[in-house]
Each structure stands twice: as C-alpha cells, then as structure tokens.
Amino acid sequence: MGDNRFSCTGSSGRENLGIEANRILDACRDRDCFEDVRVFLTAAGDDVIARTGNVRVKCVEIVGSNITVDSIQFNRGFYTVTVRFYVQCTLEACVPIGQSQEISGIAVLEKRAVLFGGESNVLVFRSQGSGSFCSLPEPVTCGNNAPEAVVEAVQPIVLNCRVVEASEGCSCCCCCCDVPQAVCDVLNGPLNDEDTDRYLTVSLGIFSVIRLVRPGQLLVEATEYCLPDRECCVQSGEDPCCSFRNMPFPVAEFCPVTTTATPASGNNGNGRRRCNDS
C-alpha cells in the first residue's frame, strides 16, 4: 500500500488565516470512587437478589450521560457542571442447586465540577441549509448564553460488589423513575420501582476529564489545503500468498518478554543468540 502523500498547488508559503473553533476556557481531570451505589434491576433481577448473596460483576459499560451547566450566582463567569453517568452492569448470581444466572441493571453515578466559562451576551444566528425565503425565523433567546461542557471518561473500574439489606441504605443520587427510557431500553425489561428487602450495590472507580468551551474567532498560521496523491482504489485479484510474503515477520510475538541489555558478545553465555539479536 502506498504512502499517504499530499501535493499542494500554488504557493506553499504560510499565511495567517481566521478560523472559527471552540476555545477551551477551563478544564479539569479527576478520579472518582463511587462507593456502594445501588444497581436498579428489573423485577426478575430483584427476585434473583432476594434468593442469593453471592454475586459477581462480569462487565460494566457507560450507556448514557446527562450534562447540565448552571451559572454560579455570586461568582460571575464560573459555572457548575453536573454530570450523570448511566452505567449498565452485567452480573452473575449463584442460585440454588449450584447454578448461576446472569442479570443486568443500571447504576447512576453523579459528579460535579466548578469551572470558569466566561460571560457572553451575544445572540448567535446561523443559516440553515433547508431554509427558504418563507421559512419561520429562528427563536430568539435573550440573556447570557452558557458555555458548552465536554466530558471524556473511560469505562468504569469495578472495585466491589455486594448485597445489602434495605435497613443499611445505599448511595443513590436518583430513583429509578429518573432513569431515561433510552437507557432502560438496553435491559430486558422495565426497572422495578417497588421497595425490596435487599439491594445490590457496586463500588466503581472512574477517570474523567471535563472542560468548558465557547466558539471563538482565532487567527492561526497555516498553509493552503493539500490534496492526497494516493487514489482510493482496492486491489483485487491479488495472490493471497504474495500478500502474505510481503508481511513483516512478527518477531515480537516470539519474544514477548523484554530482556535487559545483552552483553557485547551478543550471547547469553551459552553460545545461543537471543531472539532480538541480529
């Protein structure tokens, strides 16, 4: 396969160009440990938890989020960012007669951060591609427009899982009726809203980065646009053995362990070369 070469027409000198892009005003990173968070289950899942005390987590996955940005009244330019992560937990429970049963539920994690987002009283209007002369005008929103929050997160790390009695309580930032329907659709049935004698809780750790951005006009140094030389064609009818012979030999697969520096003699003392010796 050829290299991705680019060719430019005209002058190749640099010039200052004005662009519109999101400007990062403030950002933070954090590692959060959410301890004993209740897992909302379906009616079938609650029935399994009522009959067992041995549960393990097979996998967890963030299936949705909700982000709100609220201005701080007495600290102009600063905003509170509230993030809710909806995590699908797939678990395996031991049931009587030495059998196991897989169940799924939703855990809700919530965190807050205070970041600087600046102030702006400008109303922004953009033309729509499908608009016409007789189209309805865009609604006008008066007041300060809030910055946009961008959240990046890795999949949660499972730290603990246990079944607790209802009298012990649990860490819940909402009830199951607050979980969006789009999140509930990943399960096999609706969440059970009835009170139960036992709850399933998990402790999760999550790494995240939060930043506040605003659109802005920037002046950057750039060159003119370059077009690639390589054509978007797919080679057909090529001999598979020829393609295999062109592949590099996977030396690293035969020497997975990284060794220390070899002696100057190039051997390990018994006359045998190491795999990474030339």
| Separation between Cα atoms, residue 208 and residue 154, nearest integer Å | 7
- Between β-strands 148-153 and 78-95, what pairing exists: parallel, antiparallel or unpaired? unpaired
| Separation between Cα atoms, residue 149 and residue 83, nearest integer Å | 10
**Which pLDDT value is given to residue 12?**
60
- Tell me the backbone φ, ψ of residue 263, rounded to 5 degrees: -65, 165
DSSP character at residue 54: -
Task: Please name the residues in contact with 104: beta carbons below 8 A apart, sequence gap of 6 or more.
Answer: 41, 42, 45, 88, 89, 90, 91, 186, 187, 188
| Separation between Cα atoms, residue 29 and residue 31, nearest integer Å | 7
- Summarised one tens digit per residue, pLDDT across range 58-85 is 999 999 999 999 999 888 899 999 999 9
- Between β-strands 99-116 and 227-228, what pairing exists: parallel, antiparallel or unpaired? unpaired
Q: Highest mean pLDDT range out of 83-87, 136-140, 222-226, 254-258? A: 83-87
- Say whether pLDDT at 110 is over 90: yes
Bigger pLDDT: 16 vs 224: 16
**Which pLDDT value is given to residue 2?**
47
Q: Picking from 123-132, 143-152, 163-172, which range would have the lowest pLDDT averaged per residue?
A: 123-132
**Which pLDDT value is given to residue 278?**
46
Q: Picking from 77-91, 128-142, 261-275, which range would have the lowest pLDDT averaged per residue?
A: 261-275
